[in-house]
Amino acid sequence: MIAGVPLLEDLGDLEGKRVLVRLDLNVPISETPDHKRVVADDFRIRAALPTLMWLRDRGARITACTHLGRPRGAADPAFSLDPVRSRLEELLPGIELLENLRYSPGEEANDPAFVLELVKDQDAYVNDAFGVSHRAHASVVGPPAHLPSAAGRLLAREVEVLTNLLETPARPFVVVVGGAKVKDKIGVIRALADRADTVLVGGGMAFTFLSALGHAIGDSLVDPTQVEACTELLRSGAHLVLPVDTRALAPGGKLSTERDGGVSRAAATGAAPAADATGEVEVFGSEIRAGWRGFDIGPATAVLFAEVIAKAKTVLWNGPMGVFEDERFAGGTRVVAQAVAECSGSTVVGGGDSAAALAQLGLTDRIDHLSTGGGASLELLEFGDLPGLAALRAAPNAIAAAAR
């Protein structure tokens, strides 16, 4: 239950009613040899089915809407929802799906006129798009001001799971954070540091922390604007564990750019690096030689992280441990993914690259909760609320929902 947020049951009798449903069907699209655009991964489409089926079974006339990619406020065939519409029709026939919301500049601008266009002739609104509920976009925050509204099953479940991490995690509670940009995650690390028993830090973001400790990091990624914040966090007494070794690429070396649906085929299969991957790779300890660039946690760090994860009762993982698109730097992410999958405690994985890694390694089914929204997960964990949730709490039927 989400405090103050109306749920599907709070919409009342839906027989014959028109219901606008905001989904997050921003799925990867690939192209077949005959140049047909198809859905490469339908995870988000399947995640939307419980809400759509619940509404359909109660006689609602459903109009679904979503965005796809970044068409920047203009119609673009490259971002047409045709392949998404086709896959949705295969999974659940009879659902009307509007064209890409971001074809209109009014979507990202939260234009009141675009909101009125969306809600015209609709009787109710459902937000089941957790992945964009941290965005104050027209289709997310606009309709609840005009229509009885509710959180869909997916949105409600995401919020419940992540809120429980903040309030009542089984201990030891281990947080694993990775990815490239420390700026994007320093806030959530700070928010979780007091609640977690251990925070494991990997990925490119780790180098800013290592730099704050005075370690030589060669030419590895560092954000000088965040060094002070990292220093303060390290001095706070929080139990942060940083890499003890790093797998690095020699000066002049080149990363593989081979991708398949956003994830490298090499990382998924263990194949040799793509032909465009060049340069010597070496493992360094706490100091990286000048000119070398770290792109993955080293083997000792991977073992260390796996041992901590194995003892956890609750694990939250968000962000890869290295540039796993290049097989030479996929080892750390692979070891962590396997450790999370084998953990006997409760496991939660934030979306994005972490989810992609699990999918490519065939480990998705071994995770207790796989979030559909990486950015939304981080914002909810950091701030405890999202614009999409705040909008639902202000809907015309929210007072009745709060009294349930």
| Token code pair at residue 198 | 């251990």
Angstrom distance (rounded) from CA 404 to CA 342: 39
Within 10 angstroms of residue 300's Cβ, the number of other Cβ atoms is 14
Q: Exposure pattern of 42-80 as b/e (b: 16+ CB <10 Å)?
A: bbbbebbbebbebbbeeebbbbbbbbbeebeeeeeeebb
The residue ranges of DSSP E strands in 155-313, in sequence order, are 173-177, 198-201, 240-241, 246-249, 281-284, 293-297
In a 3-state reduction of DSSP, which class is residue 222?
Answer: coil
73 DSSP 8-state letter: S
Active site amino acids: 44, 181, 352, 375
| Tokens 């639902």 belong to residue | 392
Within 10 angstroms of residue 16's Cβ, the number of other Cβ atoms is 9
Question: Helices 227-235 and 182-193 meet at what angle, rounded to 10?
Answer: 20
Backbone φ, ψ for residue 348 (5° rounding): -130, 130
| Token code pair at residue 12 | 């009342």
219 DSSP 8-state letter: T
Bridge-based pairing of strands 314-318 and 173-177 is: parallel
Please list, in sequence order, all residues whose beta carbon lies within 8 angstroms of the beta carbon of residue 263, skipping any fewer than 6 positions away. 324, 325, 353, 356, 357, 359, 360
The residue ranges of DSSP E strands in 144-290, in sequence order, are 149-151, 173-177, 198-201, 240-241, 246-249, 281-284
Angstrom distance (rounded) from CA 279 to CA 249: 6
